[in-house]
Structure 1
Amino acid sequence: MARIHARRRGTSGSVRPLRTEAPEWSNKDKAEIEKIIVELRKNGMSSAQIGLVLRDKHCVPSVKLATGKRIEQILADNSLASEIPEDLRNLIAKALGMRKHLEENNKDLHNKRQLHLTEAKVRRLGKYYSNTGKMPADWTYKPETAEFLLSK
């Protein structure tokens, strides 16, 4: 499959081994894992950071295998899920950083092109989330209100 904004093929990557249950050496206590996830979220960590902490410090290679739920599902059950999905939030933050750079360096054409491509990804992803019901149906990306969206 090809890249979105480049005329080249994608690179192959490693695939996680197929497992149907958590390994013997891992932490399998569902209640403890969910408690750790809730605590880490209350400390301000994103779901990706929570997954890394669980893997590195608490011997949980896969939250889904250990608990039967994804991290986002556990956060939603405890009403701690964010309004904007994490991948969309990261793209908006990236576009916001590019806009700040372009205010100081308005002749940076490479950055201007990359900003257009990043905002196209934001719109495409926002449309997907609004069509699947994870975000409001009337949600649209506006660069002027992007900083306000990230402050929530």
Structure 2
Amino acid sequence: MARMHTRRRGSSGSDKPVADEPPEWSDVDEADIEERVVELAEQGHDPSVIGMKLRDEGVKGTPIPDVKLATGKKLTEILEEHDAEPELPEDLHNLMERAIRLREHMEANPQDHQNKRALQNTESKIRRLVNYYRGDALDEDFTYSYEVAVELLEE
């Protein structure tokens, strides 16, 4: 897929190995995995960090290479079932953090035209994601602004 704000093509990434069932060495009970996922979410970790922790640390010392293969549910589905999902979707949260950092940099360095363009591109991506999530993960009348982003991320 092409990049959104450049004329270059996107670079291809690695594909996950095709697997229908979890490996034999990772035979952890589904309930234990769900319990660990909720525990990590309550500690304030994002879904991507939870996946890495399960891969590296595992549950009771046994690594979990793929939560969906082990439980039959995506990590975010597990969080939704246990009412532990984050307030904002992770991708939108990360873009808002980046926009805030760029805006603060621009206030200190108004002559930095390259980062001014980066801020415009980032805020454009945020607006597109807000339209995507509006009504589902966000309120119907939610609109992005710098002040709203600062408020949401301070909590």
- The letter of the residue matching 2:125 is K
Structure 2 partner of 1:32: 32
What letter corresponds to residue 89 of structure 2 in structure 1?
P
Deviation of 1:83 (Å): 2.1
Are 2:119 and 1:137 equivalent residues in the alignment? no
1:13 corresponds in structure 2 to 13
Deviations 1:41-98 (A, max 9, x none): 1111111111000001111011011111111111111111122101100000000000
SS at match of 1:28: coil
Partner residue of 2:93? 89
Contact 2:46 2:86 survives alignment (8 Å): no
Instruction: Count residues with an aligned counterpart.
Output: 151
What is the CA distance between 1:130 and its match in structure 2?
1.3
Corresponding residue of 2:78 = 74
Q: Relative to structure 2, which stretch is displaced further, 23-32 or 111-120?
A: 23-32
The match for 1:112 is: 116
Indicate if the aligned counterparts of 1:28 and 1:67 stay in contact, CA closer than 8 A: no
* 2: CA distance, partners of 1:151 / 1:61: 33
In structure 2, C-alpha distance between the alignment counterparts of 1:6 and 1:80, rounded to whole Å: 37
The equivalent position to 1:151 in structure 2, one of 134, 150, 154, is 154
| 1:50 corresponding residue in structure 2 | 50
* 8 Å Cα contact 2:46/2:90 also seen in 1: yes
Report the Cα offset of residue 120 of structure 1: 0.3
Aligned residues of 1:95 and 1:118 also touching (Cα < 8 A): yes
C-alpha distance in structure 2 between counterparts of 1:27 and 1:138, whole Å: 45
TM-score of the aligned structures, taking structure 2 as reference length: 0.92
Number of the residue aligned with 2:130: 126
Question: How high is the sequence identity, in percent, across the aligned residues?
Answer: 48
TM-score by length of 1: 0.94
RMSD, aligned CA: 1.2
Query: Any stretches of 5+ residues in structure 2 without a counterpart?
Result: none
Flag structure 1 segments of 5+ consecutive residues without an equivalent: none
Q: Provide the rounded CA distance (Å) in 2 between the counterparts of 1:80 and 1:12.
A: 33
SS of the equivalent of 1:127 reads: helix
